[in-house]
Structures are given as structure tokens and as C-alpha cells.
Structure 1
């Protein structure tokens, strides 16, 4: 996190409240020097200091630190790659990214957008996968199974798997290059 943003944020919140540095020190039971160090970008408030500032400024610690400013490319890449669990079991391609999204959606920049886009894509993919699989099982029920008929009937499933894999990998590369991600096609089931 950029500490300069934090120092500016503390000054902003203090000014909105109409406090001088001395008044904020008194209200928060912190020393004037601590307030000055925070606002001069010499220190970052943590733990009890952060809690005291939040109480004095009538806000939450998250509002002071403004976690949404943080950007963690490695988390975004990991979250994108987590959808590859669909290779083991299709629902894992939804559950694992959903868990990662829920943990950081309001704390890291772009996680909410990536999570919504990726989950809508994975849910759509799983719906198509399940529909085609059920259709193939109904069509083939009672028939004799041989290698050629299996290959022909299950080629749409294989194509869906390959497409999902390519979409995940290409979007992970795009995230690494700070480009916009494109998980398509997807039904807009989850919204920001």
C-alpha cells in the first residue's frame, strides 16, 4: 500500500471532522507526535493506534487504510488459475474461485470485477457442460458403447474442456500484463 495515500486519507478525515492535529490527538488518546508522524508519512498506524484513530474520526479502520487501493497482481493471477480446478470436477471451478472472491472482494482492487466475470463464466460453462452430458447420456442410454461412438458423442465435452482451459490461461496472461480480462460467453447471474 502507498503510505502517502494513507497520510492524505487521515488528513482528509481529520479535516472533515473539523479537528486540528491537537484535537485528534486528544480525542484518540494518542500523542501529537504520533498524529504528526502518520500525517507526514513517517509511520503507518496499526492495531490499537489504527482502532483509536478510527473511533476518534467516527469511521472504520478500513476507511482509514482504504484497502480497496491495494492491488495484488499475484492474488488476481492465483484467483484466475483457481478456476482450473474444473479439470478435476466441474463444480470446483466455481467453488474455489468463489471462496477466493468472497475473502478479498472488498479489500483488493479488481478482485470484485474478476470474481464476478470469472464466476459468471464458470457457472455458464458448468451449465452447458451438464446439459450436454445429460443429453449424451440420455441419447446413448441402452445403446452399446464402443470407442468411436464415445469419441463422437463426447467430442462436445472435450471441446468445452479445452475452451475453458484456454480462456482461463489466456485471461491469466492478460492479468499478468495488466490488460482487461474477458471471460466469455457468460450469463450475468452474479452482479457487482
Structure 2
């Protein structure tokens, strides 16, 4: 699989530069059969050969090896479900997908766009959750006064229902959008757009 991706990259760059296989062989001082084997995925260029190819194709060896995005639905599903770690600790719902997104955003097809939407939603949800906690703590200690009947008696049921509702909304969006993404359908998260 890796040989096939690298072979495809090299061939695409060769064609983009307008080189024939013979021209690329001449420019790199490699044999024509070597270039053909590399482009057919029969051989993987390493060391000096990789360096010569990258110079001729005006790229670096690292960029040549990581040049194109690969499709990996398994990773996208992992990225999509990683915010469920908020159940352990709320900030993990941001940290886990952020780490995965940074690691693979330019290497996995769809990871950048999907990751941004997911992170925007998780950040928005975490801010709303924090503000709700802050609001109720301040109301409980009388720092702010509110004229809502259910809060004046400090009955904890409405508060529990509110927080369970927030958690249910987050879990629902995470699971539904992970399934949609896995099926290559459009995802939608309500959020403030923080990452563009």
C-alpha cells in the first residue's frame, strides 16, 4: 500500500513537471528500468535514490513521502468518537480530538475539515457547560439573584435534568456525526466557528 501511494505520487509529480520516464531517469542519473519499477510500485526508493528523485521533482524527501492525503475511515471514526472521552473529564473532549487532528490533519483525507468542525463543537459545548456550572454555583451562593421558581427552592431535579440534557446532546452529536462521516456523508455540528 505504501509503495503504491509513493509510486502514484512520483508519477503524478513527474507528469506535472512534464517529464517522460526517460527524462526523469536522465535528470536523476537513474536507469530507466529503475524509474519504471518505482512508478509501478515494484521498488521503493530509499536514501540516495529518494534524494535524487526529490531534487528532480523539486520537493524534499519528507514531502515526497508525506505528499498526498490517504483515505482512512478507521482513523476518521476514531477522531469522531474521541470526544466521548469528555465522560471521563470534560476537557478530554477537546484534548483527545485536538491531538489526533494535529497529528493527521494533512495526512488523512477529510481529517482537517472534519476535525475543525468537531473541535469547534466541542469547544462551544465545553464553554456552555462551564457557564451553566458557573451560573448555578453563583446562584446557589446568592452572588447573582434570579427570579425563577425552580431555582429559588434549590430543587436539584431541574439542574440535574439540564446537565443530563447537555451531556445527552453532546453524546448524540458525537455518535451521529461519527456514523455520518464513516458513511462519507456530510456532518453538521452547531457551534461557534473558532477554527477556520
Of 72-81 and 44-53, more deviation after overlay is shown by 44-53
The TM-score normalised by the length of structure 1 is 0.82
Residue 83 (structure 1) aligned with residue 83 (structure 2): yes
Unaligned runs of 5+ in 1: 143-147
Match of 1:180 in 2: 186
Q: How many Å separate the matches in 2 of 1:16 and 1:152?
A: 63
Q: How many Å separate the matches in 1 of 2:17 and 2:160?
A: 65
Q: CA deviation at 1:7?
A: 4.6
Q: Call closer, same or farther: CA 1:76–1:8 in 2, change over 3 Å.
A: closer
Q: Call closer, same or farther: CA 1:99–1:4 in 2, change over 3 Å.
A: closer
Residues 10 and 64, structure 1, Cα contact 8 Å, conserved in 2:
no
Q: How many Å separate the matches in 1 of 2:99 and 2:65?
A: 26
Match of 1:145 in 2: none
What does 1:28-177 correspond to in 2, within 5 Å?
Answer: 28-39=28-39, 41-43=40-42, 45-48=44-47, 49-61=49-61, 62-63=63-64, 66-68=67-69, 70-141=70-141, 149-177=155-183
Q: CA deviation at 1:14?
A: 2.6
Of 95-104 and 18-27, more deviation after overlay is shown by 18-27
Deviations 1:133-190 (A, max 9, x none): 0000111126xxxxx822222321111001101111111211222222222x100001
Of 6-15 and 76-85, more deviation after overlay is shown by 6-15
Aligned alpha-carbon RMSD (Å): 2.5
The TM-score normalised by the length of structure 2 is 0.81
Q: How many Å separate the matches in 1 of 2:18 and 2:126?
A: 54
Q: How many Å separate the matches in 2 of 1:67 and 1:19?
A: 20
Deviations 1:9-44 (A, max 9, x none): 4344334445443342243343321101233x2425
Residues 136 and 154, structure 1, Cα contact 8 Å, conserved in 2:
no
Q: Call closer, same or farther: CA 1:46–1:141 in 2, change over 3 Å.
A: farther
Q: How many Å separate the matches in 2 of 1:169 and 1:88?
A: 17
Alignment coverage as a number of residue pairs: 183
Of 168-177 and 26-35, more deviation after overlay is shown by 26-35
